[in-house]
Amino acid sequence: MTAALDAIHARIAAAARAAGRDPAAVTLVAVSKQQPPEAVAGALAAGHRVFGENRVQEAQARWTPLRPQHPDLHLRLIGPLQSNKAPEAVALFDAIDSVDRPKLARALADAVQKAGRAPQVLVQVNTGEEPQKAGVLPQDADAFIAEVRAVYGLPLAGLMCIPPVDEEPAMHFALLAQIAARNGLPELSMGMSGDFETAIRFGATMVRVGSALFGAR
Ligand SMILES: *Cc1c(COP(=O)(O)O)cnc(C)c1O
């Protein structure tokens, strides 16, 4: 696992330098969903601490026992969240990257109040305007971002997107970067195993890498 992590870090660093960016400005989010416990144990043993999961229950089962041994763990929810799971998500995750509607923002704000613990949040943007995909539409993003900040008071740090599988991702990354810039948001979670180098060229500050790191799910 150390070699696999080193290889991804080297690719991230090369992509950052090629774009005139500091490699340290790009965080590797290791996407551990559906991976066997050995894979995660290997990444932890190699010193990796930032992980992404897409389901609350799966993440709870995996990480609750590991937390006490790894107080510096940083867990990000990168999958869709149902409002009724907001309290569990707030209790477990250090960041929730899929905030995309007022009902969820309200549920998170309530959960934060009760828990006295506020994970960082990202707003997910459906840059491809795909009906089956989560995320706020690009034309509604500015208003929703303002609402997340002013009405719900959540600690909003940036944006996340998942481009359509059958399209050139570059234009989607560029669009996300543009929306973030005009809203003064520093964090951009974009890029997966197949396209993280492109995402870094367009300003990604977090890349979410699963299969290229751990192998196929
Ligand atoms: C599964 C997943 C990833 C990782 O995908 P890979 O192609 O395996 O790197 C990244 N982001 C999200 C939102 C995912 O659900």
Residue located nearest, by CA, to atom 5 of ligand 1: 210
Q: Return the number of other C-beta atoms located less than 10 Å from residue 58's C-beta.
A: 14
What is the Å distance from ligand 1's center to 54 Cα?
Answer: 9
Residue located nearest, by CA, to atom 12 of ligand 1: 78
- Average pLDDT, stretch 3-8? 96
Q: What's the CATH number where 178 sits?
A: 3.20.20.10
Three-class secondary structure of residue 18 per DSSP: helix
Give the pLDDT confidence score for residue 26 in this predicted structure: 98
Give the pLDDT confidence score for residue 180 in this predicted structure: 98
Give the pLDDT confidence score for residue 1 in this predicted structure: 84
Residue located nearest, by CA, to atom 4 of ligand 1: 210
Q: Kindly give, in sequence order, each residue whose CB lies less than 8 Å from that of residue 53, ignoring residues fewer than 6 positions away.
A: 31, 32, 33, 59, 62, 63, 75, 76, 77, 78, 79
What is the Å distance from ligand 1's center to 151 Cα?
Answer: 30
Domain that holds residue 175: 2-214
Report how far apart, in Å, the C-alpha atoms of 110 and of each of 57, 84, 85, 87, 164 are.
Answer: 20, 11, 12, 8, 32
Three-class secondary structure of residue 95 per DSSP: strand
What is the Å distance from ligand 1's center to 31 Cα?
Answer: 6
Give the pLDDT confidence score for residue 28 in this predicted structure: 98
Q: Return the number of other C-beta atoms located less than 10 Å from residue 175's C-beta.
A: 19
Ligand 1 atom nearest residue 162's Cα: 13
Question: Each residue of 117-171: pLDDT tens digit?
Answer: 999 999 999 999 999 999 999 999 999 999 999 999 999 999 999 999 999 999 9
Task: Give the residues surrounding ligand 1 with Cβ less than 6 Å away.
Answer: 31, 33, 54, 78-79, 162, 192-194, 208-212
Give the pLDDT confidence score for residue 130 in this predicted structure: 98
Ligand 1 atom nearest residue 97's Cα: 13
Its pTM stands at 0.97
Ligand 1 atom nearest residue 29's Cα: 10
Residue located nearest, by CA, to atom 7 of ligand 1: 193
**Phi-psi map region of 143: left, alpha, beta (phi>0 left; psi -120 to 50 alpha):** alpha
Question: Each residue of 46-102: pLDDT tens digit?
Answer: 999 999 999 999 999 999 999 999 999 999 999 999 999 999 999 999 999 999 999
Q: What is the domain count for the chain?
A: 1
Ligand 1 atom nearest residue 160's Cα: 13
How many whole angstroms separate alpha carbon 104 and alpha carbon 203? 27
